Structure 1
């Protein structure tokens, strides 16, 4: 935990509360305010601070101001009664724009992980003027119906022609057992969550248990309501009224970063994303799963810095 807290000790950073759609979103800007912006969009059920501080610092040292934030229903942001007020991935994309507006940012290099990658793609399609470059990390193509693929898998049905592969069965099992129980103490919460992270991390790289433990402890301490993040699963299945074909309109220079051992979205998802976006560059990271382990902070940041360099003016 001390390592995470000290990573940004000597880097200027500012927090603010963003008001949008009747909600409050926690957001943080790291780096000098006159530099080009990188907007980091986390995945489903994940807080903004799950972008490792070391990764953020590396981007800030590379000449950027980095903006990260908590999605609605995560961390210090507002929670929503989803039954009374359902929302969609498109609404979550609007939240991202509100964060940019709050920091006075017309255009940003947008980096999205997992569901955040879908949000980033949607922004590039619907608000191209706001997206300087696009980076999708451990994600899949816009319009992919993973929920339906999982349902067919669980029912023992054959996949549809050209259907992208569903998550690994061991991951689906781990996701069910990792749901936080209401009123769980921190140790019970950690005991439930760490097996999931081990599966998400993948078998190839050493598993840094203490780093994941520290990250999840931070998640536990920051959350207004740990159970609220499950609403992202409902938002993710509600659709965006957009399809993979819409990615042909993306003009932003695009990088697709993906692990070779991703159990959530096997590499075929990355290949399909890169094929759908004109001129996109695909980089497969050997051994990486569906997580951002600290040991890859420098590698991932370096890929993004290289990608953004030509447009960072």
Structure 2
């Protein structure tokens, strides 16, 4: 069994209701903004965030010698809970982290007190194939998930074809440009704040290039997303999507349709990032959802 060290940190009192924050693919835990985390902790929650394997300060893997799948990344979530002494927790998930949360809620319902997914896609929907077909300019089969926005497609198509960044400065500029596209077009984009964040992401990574292992793991995980299982989710579920979501527009409604009793919350102006303008609204909704008072 492959063992990888996972970096994590927690905020708030150890006796408070626990929230585990699960970030998306190829993303460090610090993309959960500290102001947002602080609002949850101030609201009486024990908040834990962590770096996925092959991101940030967590361990990196030689994928050619020790390949892994998204099931291993999913099991890392449970390992983090175990390490913090949690039999169960409220899972708050972003982007591909929402796929992890949905699958854990299906497979291990006893470990999920509530589920919150932000900017995510429905489990079993084939999101990766939809994005790849969009980037390749191929038609989508009938019944596919909605495509990303043209701005998203144009940016990532260019990123695939352009030469990779040559040094730290170019790499950080590319990371800022990506964050700008994911941010959406409705809210002001704070380039200075984006630069500070991406400099921190760059500087704290053990190996910034190791994140591509998540793509390799996805390719090695054809059965990771079972189809037609979301009706088995028993945890109270809150689905959050921004009105200017560029990567997964309309996917939130599909999650909410397929999980019994799930509630969909649309956040005006929100894209695929977690900007300061949305922190109060998001934190208030999550604090309510994890309190048992979900009116």
Contact kept, 8 Å, 2:29 with 2:51, in 1: the verdict is yes
Matches within 5 A, 1:1-313: 21-175=2-156, 177=159, 181=164, 184-185=167-168, 187-237=169-219, 238-266=221-249, 268-310=250-292
C-alpha deviation, 1:170, in angstroms: 2.7
Is this contact kept in 2: 1:33–1:65, CA < 8 A?
yes
**TM-aligned CA deviation for residue 66 of structure 1:** 0.3
* Structure 1 gap ranges (5+): 1-19
CA–CA separation in structure 2 for the residues paired with 1:298 and 1:92: 30
| Structure 2 residue matching 1:25: 3-state secondary structure | coil
| CA–CA separation in structure 2 for the residues paired with 1:151 and 1:31 | 40
Structure 1 residue ranges, 4+ long, deviating more than 6 angstroms after superposition: none
By how many angstroms is 1:241 displaced? 3.9
CA separation of 1:137 and 1:33: change in aligned 2, threshold 3 A: same
CA contact (8 A) 2:2 2:66 kept: no
How many residue pairs get matched? 291
TM-score scaled by length of structure 1:
0.87
Q: Give the match for residue 9 of structure 1.
A: none
Tell me the residue number matched to 1:10. Answer: none
1:309 aligned counterpart, secondary structure: coil
Give the match's secondary structure for 1:23.
coil
Gaps of 5+ in 2: none
TM-score (norm 2): 0.92
| 3-state SS in 2 of match to 1:112 | strand
1:14 paired residue number: none
Paired residue secondary structure (1:67): strand
1:95-153 deviations in Å (ceiling 9; x for gaps): 01000000101110000100111111111011100000000000000112123223433
Q: Is the 8 A contact 2:16 2:46 kept in 1?
A: yes
Deviations 1:56-95 (A, max 9, x none): 0100011111010000010000111223322222211100
Q: Distance in 2 between matches of 1:26 and 1:182?
A: 27
Give SS of 1:278's match: coil
> Which range moves more in the overlay, 76-85 or 54-63?
76-85
